[in-house]
Structure 1
């Protein structure tokens, strides 16, 4: 086996993806891993009218049969809804009908109120392998599928008995340390300096996900409005973190927790500390906190 991992680059899930795998195999493994990402992207894309998700949303008002993989994702979404006291809600995707972050204009409250009437996960009915979405409502699994895909790739790599790192547009997982025992070094994006790392974290196991107010946002009258919206108000939570990074055993859980933390606003740090998960948080003033801050070779607060 070579001293350096083989790398495979492609674009999917809304951004650049990199697979770094220690293997002597030819490209067949990399092709299979990429194919799994594209399978999930195609299956759950809200942009593809033929995707399972689009067909499920078009069935609103009627019962729709779902497969075990989809049922598992919806079970996890339901658990997240309950654990977050309603903050994590996969029906909030419809809020994009009111928000246009490229326009630089805030939505009118009356328009937002009309869209909010279509938000509310508890109104979705489930009976075994069937689901019934209320008329006018949509499900959006964009906050779960990329992280789920990362976990799937790690499982496939483990089955192939290879070690490596998965980076799906910023959601990262590793099968373990590198063959020489050293951890992987993962850069965390600076929330105010595009293309610059704010910190570097060593990762020897598990997965890492980051949420922030810098991916899709607009600034109006000096105030930043990001795309992570409260399901009750339809507005971003004021005073929340600039970014949150969490390390857990599974990328799916890490991604969900970062979203919940963003929606906790000013309570995010104390909430994460109470959970006991390793995290790195940049607040509005870009002050760094969290248990991962001490593990980073170079955290920056300016």
Structure 2
């Protein structure tokens, strides 16, 4: 358990001892990143940024600064659909079975008052982050795991480990081949029957990330509301229940899968056009399977 979720680490090496040493190094690297960017561990740089919201800028490592900068770029591309300041959102939606009615429009509007990427001020000369509004918070729940798996893959390749998978709760980086010489096969879960797979993606070098609402949602008046909240409106996303993105970099794929869930099918596919190295598979609330035109896996059902 790392970064608040489960990580599975697979390493192909010449013997079990060096494989175990490499796995330990991957765990150490994920922990290092967690202690930089976690917004719920009190001693991290991001927690320090959040504590000083509305007070003063906070100096951060270049790594944290650059990750924040890339996150804000996603916010600009999605017009606030993707927003790391979602961490300040009031948790008025409950997905534990305790909700009996929708929150009021007024409560929903109030819940996102402190959310807004335009109030994150970056100073590249001093490497500082300043949140303009008191009570603002940033968090990397939608990028952090993808970033971590990507960093671990790069570290292992630099060390000479020729194959492996780092899987952070479904956000995964792969490289090399299985010991039998075949590509890794990454299964795509059927959101309506999580024990079933829709198909498998063969990968030797790349990333797969999935964002989904099929495990946590509520239904009011026959409409399904997912646990993924649009940070610019405060309302849960509707329309899609799962988005899988395939591409070279897990951090980018992670940002895209989250963004596509929020933007929906039409706007999501338009955004993906700006990333020609990435492809996606979306599943609608009605069970229709939608593939981007460059998605190369053909053996997948079109209706669930």
Instruction: Give yes or no for TM over 0.5.
Output: yes
Assess if the C-alpha contact under 8 Å between 1:45 and 1:54 holds in 2: yes
CA distance in 1, matches of 2:146, 2:75: 17
Q: Which residue of 2 aligns with 1:20?
A: 10
CA distance in 2, matches of 1:26, 1:261: 36
Secondary structure of residue in 1 paired with 2:89: helix
CA distance in 2, matches of 1:265, 1:204: 29
CA distance in 2, matches of 1:77, 1:208: 19
Deviation larger for 140-149 or 50-59? 50-59
Q: Which residue of 2 aligns with 1:46?
A: 39
Residues 273 and 130 of structure 1, relative CA distance in 2, 3 Å threshold = closer
Residues 18 and 292 of structure 1, relative CA distance in 2, 3 Å threshold = farther
CA distance in 2, matches of 1:80, 1:92: 13
Q: How many residues are treated as equivalent by the alignment? A: 291
Equivalent runs, 1:196-235 vs 2, <5 Å = 196-235=196-235
CA distance in 1, matches of 2:103, 2:71: 27
Q: Which residue of 1 aligns with 2:303?
A: 301
Assess if the C-alpha contact under 8 Å between 1:89 and 1:231 holds in 2: yes
1:123 matched to 2:119? The reply is yes
Q: Which residue of 2 aligns with 1:132?
A: 130
CA distance in 2, matches of 1:22, 1:143: 28
CA-CA distance at 1:272 after TM superposition: 5.6
CA-CA distance at 1:255 after TM superposition: 0.8
Q: Which residue of 1 aligns with 2:240?
A: 241
Q: C-alpha offsets along residues 128-150 of structure 1, whole Å, 9 cap, x if unaligned? A: 21121121211111111111001
CA-CA distance at 1:197 after TM superposition: 2.2
Unpaired runs of at least 5, structure 2: none
Assess if the C-alpha contact under 8 Å between 1:57 and 1:138 holds in 2: yes
CA distance in 2, matches of 1:186, 1:14: 22
Q: Which residue of 2 aligns with 1:286?
A: 287
Q: Which residue of 2 aligns with 1:88?
A: 82
Residues 213 and 168 of structure 1, relative CA distance in 2, 3 Å threshold = same
1:107 matched to 2:103? The reply is yes
CA distance in 1, matches of 2:272, 2:136: 35
How well do the aligned residues superpose, as a CA RMSD in angstroms?
2.1
CA-CA distance at 1:252 after TM superposition: 0.4
Unpaired runs of at least 5, structure 1: 1-10
Q: Which residue of 2 aligns with 1:256?
A: 255
Secondary structure of residue in 1 paired with 2:246: strand
Q: Which residue of 2 aligns with 1:3?
A: none
